[in-house]
């Protein structure tokens, strides 16, 4: 599926989905498979992720003691060509705090922080202060604070540019074929053992693929 990408009518810039920032940080080929080819497959990880999002995927608003909490809030940035949905944003006295839900354990500087940083860029463009965001780990049942600093925002902008280039590239990146592939729901679509650029001869596509042969 290639024709579905949105273009910002103000800037003629191809819009990058905020989720693509996380996919890009995880695997460039995964990003292209999802956002260029339109490939999607479920596995136990994606189902667990969906189930853990059931409360925050329901749009809603709550107010308590000066804090306004909005679930499933659409955000965008015309300047940086970003668009997506925040799981939760907490608003208080001109400041906005995005909270991104992730099913697994928190990894400092991991892919989820790029997505959170993209949300922060959108909220900044809407005129809010965004000093901090949080990754909520469902596995750990706790929030991890992420400082929204210049370094993170620079990384978000660089990743958005890289994703935009990827969306315009007709060829898929080669597969990683490393430990990340074990949990990737697109493994059967991607065939990383055959598409990692190491295959010198035409593979026998009818022979059973060996399980558990990874580069790392
Ligand atoms: S199977 Fe591996 S190389 Fe292929 S999309 Fe998933 S993570 Fe990327």
CA-nearest residue for atom 5, ligand 1, is 30
CA-nearest residue for atom 2, ligand 1, is 181
160 lines ligand 1 (CB under 6 A): no
pTM of the complete model: 0.86
Per-residue tens of pLDDT for the chain, all 216 residues: 333 557 676 667 889 999 999 999 999 999 999 999 999 999 988 998 888 888 788 899 999 999 999 999 999 999 999 999 999 999 999 999 999 999 989 999 999 999 999 999 999 999 999 999 999 999 999 999 999 999 999 999 999 999 999 998 888 999 989 999 999 999 999 999 888 888 766 666 677 666 666 565
C-alpha distances in Å from residue 168, one per residue of 15, 22, 36, 163 = 12, 18, 9, 9
User: How many angstroms is it from 9 CA to the middle of ligand 1?
Assistant: 33
33 lines ligand 1 (CB under 6 A): yes
- The phi, psi pair for 27, rounded to 5°, reads -165, 125
CATH classification (class only), 7-167 = alpha beta
The upper half-sphere exposure of residue 46, i.e. CA atoms within 13 Å in the direction of its Cβ, equals 9
Q: How far apart are CA 102 and CA 123, in angstroms?
A: 20
Domains of the chain by residue range: 7-167, 175-216
72 neighbors 58 (Cβ within 8 angstroms):
yes
30 CA: nearest ligand 1 atom: 5
């Amino acid at each position: 599926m290639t024709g579905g990408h949105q273009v910002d009518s103000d800037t003629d810039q191809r819009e990058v989905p905020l989720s693509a920032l996380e996919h890009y940080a995880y695997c460039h080929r995964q990003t292209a498979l999802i956002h260029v080819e339109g490939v999607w497959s479920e596995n136990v990880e994606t189902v667990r992720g969906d189930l853990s999002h059931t409360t925050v995927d329901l749009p809603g608003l709550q107010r308590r003691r000066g804090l306004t909490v909005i679930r499933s809030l659409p955000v965008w940035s015309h300047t940086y060509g970003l668009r997506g949905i925040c799981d939760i944003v907490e608003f208080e006295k001109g400041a906005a705090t995005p909270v991104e839900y992730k099913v697994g354990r928190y990894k400092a500087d991991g892919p989820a922080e790029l997505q959170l940083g993209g949300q922060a860029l959108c909220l900044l463009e809407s005129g809010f202060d965004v000093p901090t965001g949080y990754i909520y780990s469902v596995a750990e049942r706790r929030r991890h604070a992420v400082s929204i600093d210049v370094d993170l925002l620079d990384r978000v902008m660089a990743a958005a540019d890289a994703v935009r280039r990827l969306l315009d590239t007709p060829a898929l990146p080669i597969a990683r074929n490393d430990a990340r592939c074990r949990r990737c729901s697109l493994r059967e679509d991607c065939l990383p053992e055959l598409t990692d650029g190491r295959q010198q001869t035409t593979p026998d596509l009818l022979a059973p693929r060996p399980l558990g042969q990874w580069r790392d």
